[in-house]
C-alpha cells in the first residue's frame, strides 16, 4: 500500500521553554549541586546559542548582588555576584577592553579568586623566611 507524504498530518508544537528559562533551570540545579555536593559549575555563556536580547534577559533576571571584585592581569576581569548568592557573572577583557570571556559560575567564590595550593605553599615558605629574619 502506497501512501503519499502529503496525506500524512504533521502537527508542530511550539515549546514554551526559551533558552533563557532552560539556562535558569540549569543554574537552579547547579546551586542545588553546590549545596549538596560542594561542587562548582561554570557555564560559558559565549558558547551558548543565545541572541544578544536573550543574554540581556538572562543578565536582567539574575541582577546584581552585593559583591563585586575587579582584577587586572592581562586585562580586566569583573566578578559580580548576582542577586542569587553563589551565582556569579565573571567577565574577562583583554588589554584593549574587548570582552574575551563571559561565564556564570555557580560557586562559593569564583575560581579565579582561589589561591592555588602551590602559591599558598610558596607564601608560607616566604613568610617563614621573613619571620626568621625579623626574630632571631
C-alpha distance from residue 103 to each of 44, 126, 133 (Å): 5, 34, 44
Q: Class assignment of domain 19-111?
A: alpha beta
In the block, which residue shows the cell 610558596?
122
| Backbone torsions φ then ψ of 124, nearest 5 degrees | -60, -45
Residues forming beta bridges with residue 88, ordered by sequence position: 81, 105
Q: Which grid coordinates are listed for 104?
A: 556564570
pLDDT tens readout for residues 76-121 = 999 999 999 999 999 999 999 999 999 999 999 999 888 889 999 9
Give the predicted TM-score (pTM) of the model.
Answer: 0.78
**Please, what is the end-to-end C-alpha distance for the chain in angstroms?**
100
For residue 43, which of 125, 100, 107 has the smallest C-alpha distance? 107
pLDDT tens readout for residues 37-58 = 999 999 999 999 999 999 999 9
Amino acid at each position: 500500500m502506497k501512501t503519499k507524504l502529503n496525506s500524512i498530518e504533521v502537527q508542530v508544537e511550539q515549546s514554551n521553554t526559551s533558552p533563557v528559562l532552560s539556562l535558569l533551570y540549569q543554574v537552579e540545579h547547579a546551586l542545588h549541586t553546590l549545596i549538596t555536593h560542594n561542587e562548582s559549575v561554570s557555564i560559558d555563556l559565549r558558547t551558548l546559542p543565545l541572541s544578544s536580547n536573550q543574554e540581556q534577559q538572562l543578565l536582567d533576571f539574575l541582577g546584581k548582588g552585593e559583591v563585586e571584585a575587579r582584577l587586572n592581569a592581562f586585562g580586566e576581569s569583573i566578578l559580580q555576584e548576582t542577586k542569587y548568592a553563589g551565582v556569579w557573572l565573571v567577565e574577562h577583557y583583554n588589554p584593549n577592553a574587548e570582552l574575551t570571556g563571559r561565564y556564570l559560575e555557580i560557586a562559593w567564590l569564583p575560581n579565579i579568586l582561589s589561591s592555588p595550593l602551590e602559591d599558598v605553599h610558596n607564601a608560607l615558605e616566604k613568610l617563614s623566611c621573613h619571620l626568621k629574619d625579623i626574630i632571631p
